[in-house]
Amino acid sequence: MKKLTLFFAFIYAGFALFAQPETEKGLAAITTEAVKGQLNFLASDWMEGRAVGTRGEYMAADYIASMFQVYGIQPFGDDAALLFSGRRRMMPENIGPQPKTYFQSFSLIQYEPGEEHTFSVIAGSAGSESAIDFGYKTDFFVRTGTVGQSAKAQLVFVGYGFEDTEKGYSDLAKINLKGKIAVVLTGFPGHRDTSSVAYKKFVQDTPYARYLVDRNKAEKLEKAGAIAIIQVNPNADPMTGWSQNQIYQARTNYYEADKPLADYYDISMSLPSDSLTGNLPVFTVTTRLANELIKGTGLHFAEFEKTVALSMLPASRELTGKMVAFHTSVNSGVVKVRNVVGYIEGEKKNEFIVVGGHYDHLGKYDGYIWNGADDNGSGTVGVMTIAKAFAATGKKPEKSVIFAAWTGEEKGLFGSKYFVQQAMKKKMNIVLNLNYDMIARDETGDTLKNMADLSYTKACPGIEELTKKNVADYKINLNMTYSASERPSGGSDHAPFAAEGIPIFYFMAAMHPDYHQPSDELSKVNWEKMTNIIRIGFLNTWEFANSNQYLEKK
């Protein structure tokens, strides 16, 4: 009888294992050891910092594609027959359908300022003008657009160039910038006084929130019609970085030398289009040049900043009688880059969820490697691991799920922008985007080492509801902060999806001192937190892929 009981117990255990829910099978595939193994390679020195279009980034892309193949994820990139040694070739018209690759290839324009730049401040009126000519890297520096430009135009003061329409503030709402040059202060209302009314209204007191609030000004000013930007920081001396005699040591926490390290952002990139966009030159100027811009206009920068911090009322206006003439030159070239994309086809072949994160980082300079373990090796591993978990369920989801590692995020979200552009042209029905960016670190003050942020589209409150439910039901050790907005923006790859009205949810663990530093290393990763954020991402996405219950818009 005892043997019979053991026999039935064995049979029952085997049946229970066979009947294990798909979610449990997926969760079982998400292990800290697997997460470590993938990130150890992606953030190793062999990847050389994964800068856009470099050998290290191409190696990383090959690795990601190989892991997709190992997990059984199908390719969703370009047709294989169209690519040969990185060059497109002519193919017979009747060649027929071709297999896909894991790579979505495209071009970026790489550019930097040329050698010839001029800048003149013009005062007076027609028939009676005087001009003061300033020197390049003496009184001004310019971050150019993709092509050189020459212009002479009226100046318009636009405050901070700041907008928060949800809270009723806009420096751009009541001013005409079309064909004019914007004079803009760095920062935002109240940024110099954390106790001010404006600061408390506009900024959540976290490093990441302060980082986001000052982004994307140039894009907004270009959309408003400005042809150039003059950036003013009254309390800074840009001359320090332009001096010709670097005779004192440059010191940071990790670097000592007689000259500063080369900067990844010295060379810019842009995504080509059929029209000339993103071509706004941005001038950084000295205090004496800035004061010449406002001389005789009645505007005083310090008074404006004090007033707006209390009143929270914009004071944008034309600077009557003041114009600027400038000329810029550009050195440019073309760089070939690629996203890595795979997918699991669902019962609904033409309804997609996109799970993505960028795999590029800042590369290597002067013997230093920016390995980007957190930014964003961690998010890339998150994408690969969710792909593995979906495959491990053994079940075909209702919706098709695309898994994507984006290139070019650090230069301007170019990989995700390109994907979304192509998806819109093909009229793909993308119903949701999950974005992973920096999911492996702790902020100062996170003593329990379990804090994380979730941003999502406000019209889909079920995203927060489901996250809270899964955290509780599966006892996931995460203390989540939730942030909802109409169309979540910012400097990560959810933004191009949100801009097209596609709901998003976006996980991030922390903004930390190693952000964009060579010290963003594997040794500082919180493996438990990273694994838990991947687990909750899988649980949420699995539910979204198989039901619309939590995706209903309200």
Query: Are 487 and 379 part of one and the same domain?
Result: yes
- The pLDDT assigned to 15 comes to 34
Predicted confidence (pLDDT) per residue in 198-215, tens digit: 888 887 555 555 555 556
Q: Which parts of 126-232 are beta strand (E)?
A: 128-134, 140-143, 150-157, 163-164, 169-170, 181-185, 228-232
Q: How many CB atoms lie within 10 A of CB 110?
A: 18
Query: C-alpha distances in angstroms, 429 versus 357, 484, 504?
Result: 20, 23, 14
Residue 307 lies in a domain: yes
Residue 23 lies in a domain: no
The secondary structure element, H or E, covering residue 416 is: helix 414-425
Predicted confidence (pLDDT) per residue in 373-396, tens digit: 999 999 999 999 999 999 999 999
Alpha carbons 526 and 438: distance in angstroms, whole number:
11
> Above pLDDT 90, what percent of the chain?
73
Least confident residue range of 188-192, 251-255, 470-474, 490-494: 251-255
Residue 27 lies in a domain: no
Boundaries of domain holding 470: 37-85+97-104+335-546
Query: C-alpha distances in angstroms, 370 versus 373, 406, 461, 493, 515?
Result: 9, 18, 37, 20, 10
Average pLDDT over residues 254-277: 84
Query: Are 77 and 124 part of one and the same domain?
Result: no
- 19, pLDDT greater than 70: no
Phi, psi of 405, rounded to the nearest 5 degrees: -110, 115
Query: Are 426 and 311 part of one and the same domain?
Result: no
Query: Are 78 and 137 part of one and the same domain?
Result: no
Q: Is 273 helix (H, G, I), strand (E, B) or coil?
A: coil
Average pLDDT over residues 278-298: 93
Contact 520, 373 (CB under 8 A): yes
Q: Tell which wins on pLDDT, 97 or 165.
A: 165
- The pLDDT assigned to 551 comes to 94
Q: What is the token pair recorded at 252?
A: 């940071």
Q: What does the mean pLDDT of the chain come to?
A: 90
Residue 378 lies in a domain: yes
Alpha carbons 457 and 102: distance in angstroms, whole number:
29
Predicted confidence (pLDDT) per residue in 116-166, tens digit: 999 999 998 767 889 999 999 999 999 998 899 999 999 999 999 988 888
The DSSP secondary-structure symbol of 236 reads -
- Last residue of a domain, which of 271, 293, 328? 328
Report the CATH number at residue 457: 3.40.630.10
Q: How many CA atoms lie within 13 A of 268 on its CB side?
A: 21
Q: Place 482 in a pLDDT band, splitting at 50, 70 and 90.
A: very high
Q: What is the token pair recorded at 409?
A: 């995020």
Alpha carbons 229 and 155: distance in angstroms, whole number:
10
Query: Are 431 and 534 part of one and the same domain?
Result: yes
Name the nearest CA neighbour of 408 among 107, 47, 64.
107
Residue 192 lies in a domain: yes
Contact 199, 252 (CB under 8 A): no
Report the CATH number at residue 172: 3.50.30.30
Q: What is the token pair recorded at 248?
A: 């004192």
Query: Are 134 and 254 part of one and the same domain?
Result: yes
* pTM for this prediction: 0.82
- 278, pLDDT greater than 90: no
Alpha carbons 149 and 201: distance in angstroms, whole number:
39
Least confident residue range of 151-160, 175-184, 277-286, 412-421: 277-286
Contact 332, 380 (CB under 8 A): no
Query: Are 370 and 466 part of one and the same domain?
Result: yes
Q: Which parts of 277-362 are beta strand (E)?
A: 282-285, 317-327, 330-344, 348-358
Alpha carbons 203 and 377: distance in angstroms, whole number:
28
Query: Are 268 and 120 part of one and the same domain?
Result: yes
- Last residue of a domain, which of 279, 304, 328? 328
Q: SS3 letters for 423-464?
A: HHHCCCEEEEEEEECCCCCCCCCCCCCCEEEEEEECCCCHHH
Q: Within the chain, what is the greatest distance between any pair of CA atoms?
A: 113
- The pLDDT assigned to 320 comes to 94
- The pLDDT assigned to 97 comes to 64
Query: Are 339 and 392 part of one and the same domain?
Result: yes
Whether the CA torsion 406, 500, 432, 528 is positive or negative: it is positive
- Last residue of a domain, which of 261, 295, 328? 328
Query: Are 286 and 396 part of one and the same domain?
Result: no
- 12, pLDDT greater than 50: no
> What stretches of 137-295 show up as alpha helix (H) in DSSP?
197-202, 207-213, 217-223, 287-294
**Number of domains comprising the chain:** 2
Average pLDDT over residues 57-79: 97
Predicted confidence (pLDDT) per residue in 42-52, tens digit: 999 999 999 99
Residue 143 lies in a domain: yes
Residue 295 lies in a domain: yes
Contact 110, 269 (CB under 8 A): yes
Residue 5 lies in a domain: no
- The pLDDT assigned to 1 comes to 43
Average pLDDT over residues 28-40: 98
- 236, pLDDT greater than 80: yes
Which residue is listed with tokens 């062999």?
Answer: 46
Query: Are 315 and 351 part of one and the same domain?
Result: no
Which residue is listed with tokens 């495959």?
Answer: 391
Query: Are 453 and 485 part of one and the same domain?
Result: yes
